[in-house]
Each structure stands twice: as C-alpha cells, then as structure tokens.
Structure 1
Amino acid sequence: MKKGTLINADISYAIAKMGHNDMLTICDSGLPIPRGVQRIDVAIKKGVPTFIETLETIVEELRIEEIIIAREIREISPHMFQEILKIIESVEAAENIKVRITEVDHEEFKSMTKESSCIVRTGEYTPYANIILKSGVVF
C-alpha cells in the first residue's frame, strides 16, 4: 500500500507522468471539462471533498512553479482566494521556491483547461474555485 498523503491512484499516476510545464486543473463541481482531457472525478456530494482539501493534498505531491486562476475569484469568492494564497505561501516557504500567480478572465481559464493533462473535479460549490497548477522541476 502506498505510504503518503495522496492515495488516489488516478491522481498519483497523473502527477507521476507530468513533466516541466505540464498542467493539472483542480475544479469545483460546475466547471465544464473539455472533451479529450482526462477527468478524475472525486466529487461525492456537495462539499465533499472540498477544493481546499484537494489542493492541499495535491501540492504535497506536485512541485508547482505557477498557478493560474480566474481573476473573478477575488471579487466573487474572496475567502477562497485568500485560502489559495495561504496554501501557495506555505508551499513557497516549505520548498524555498517562488510560485508565479497568473490571473486570467474566467473564459480564458476555461479555454486553458483544454491543455491540462487531467482535471480533478471536487465536490466544491464555491464559485470560481478552480486552479491550474503548472508543474515545476524538483532540481
């Protein structure tokens, strides 16, 4: 049995296959998932698992160098935006790296998800609780 925080086999495998600059998206329950992109649906019911729990777990396993979010999150879901920033700050401190934060409009964000290696769908119901994680390198 795998020892570690991330025990979802599909997510673990998707991360293992990622190279530098590959993208993984974590989304709320409502984000449209483009055809042709692997969907890893972990949603069980409203709020389970949360977007934040999923993000915290994935960033423990994936080295990130950039995040991409919809700029609408600042105004529509400011509490979620602040939670994302806290997680990124803790990643930066723990790994002694700087993570670039890129904000785009929601329509552009949805278009960018077509380039993701996979999209992890959560049970989150908070508007704009979506993020693209761009893979970094571990050396």
Structure 2
Amino acid sequence: MTKNGILNPQLCSAIAGAGHTDYFVIADPGLPIPEGINVIDLSLVRGVPSFLDTLKAVSGELVVESYILAEEMKNISPRLHDETCSVLHGLPHKYVPHEELKQLLRRAKAVVRTGETTSFANVILVCGVNF
C-alpha cells in the first residue's frame, strides 16, 4: 500500500507505465472506448468519482505535457471546461471536435472511467517526462 496519493493498484500501474507522448484519458461513463484499450473503471454511482477529483488525483501523479479537449465542452459545459483548464493551468492544449476526440482514443494507453455525468467530461492527457 502506498503512503500517499492514488490507492487504486490498476491506476497506479497505468500511470507508472505511461511513456512520453502516450495518451492517458479521463472520461465520463458514456464515452465509447475502442476494443483493446486498457480501461480503469472507477465509476460507482452517478457523479462518483467526479471528473475533477479524478483529474486532480491523476495530474498530481502523471507527468502531463499538454492536453486535448472536445470543442463542444467550451459551450455546452463551460464551468467544467474552465475548471479543467484551471487544474491543468499553464499547460498547452488544443480543441478537436468530439467525434475526432473519440477517434484519438485508439491511441490511448489507458482510459479512466469516472462517474461524471456532465456533458463532454473527457480529456486526453498527453504524457510528458520528468527530466
């Protein structure tokens, strides 16, 4: 058992195994995930765990160099968009249409499924290196 941080062993393993430029996704429970992708399903009930709590925990452990959001998030879920950008403050990011974001999932090293039901509560974290 770890002293601090993430307790889930599958999530710890996925973070430790992430390499430079790998895609590490935090997703709502409705995002379709392609076959063969490592899914770490943390969803318990609606809203638990939240997208933001999961993002804060993961980004506290994972080296992130940039991130990708769906364009639709800005207009449909502006509060969650702003909070996401606040958590990932200062990191470069880009927007793609939601349909393109779903296609990018094919490159994901892991997808962490949350219980968040806010529309477009998905982010692709692009892994960096700590040296």
- Ranges of 4+ aligned residues in structure 1 off by more than 3 Å: none
Write the distance in 2 (CA, Å) between the matches of 1:84 and 1:35.
27
- Give the secondary structure class of the aligned counterpart of 1:24: strand
Give 1:107 deviation, angstroms. Answer: 0.3
Aligned match of 2:24: 24
Aligned match of 2:88: 88
TM-score, normalised relative to structure 1: 0.92
Aligned match of 1:95: none
- Give the secondary structure class of the aligned counterpart of 1:57: helix
Deviations, residues 13-60 of structure 1 (Å, cap 9, x unaligned): 001111110111000111001101011100000000000000000000
Q: Say which is worse superposed, 59-68 or 1-10, in terms of deviation.
A: 1-10
Give 1:64 deviation, angstroms. Answer: 0.3
Residue of structure 2 aligned with 1:131, choices 119, 123, 126? 123
Aligned match of 1:70: 70
Write the distance in 2 (CA, Å) between the matches of 1:112 and 1:68.
10
Q: In structure 1, what residue type is equivalent to 2:111?
A: I
Aligned match of 1:115: 107
Q: In structure 1, what residue type is equivalent to 2:68?
A: I
Write the distance in 1 (CA, Å) between the matches of 2:34 and 2:73.
21
Q: In structure 1, what residue type is equivalent to 2:63?
A: R
Aligned match of 1:102: 94
Write the distance in 2 (CA, Å) between the matches of 1:59 and 1:3.
18
Aligned match of 1:55: 55
Aligned match of 1:96: none
Structure 2 residue ranges without an equivalent (≥5): none
- Give the secondary structure class of the aligned counterpart of 1:134: strand
CA-based RMSD of the aligned residues comes to 0.7
Matched residues, percent identical? 40
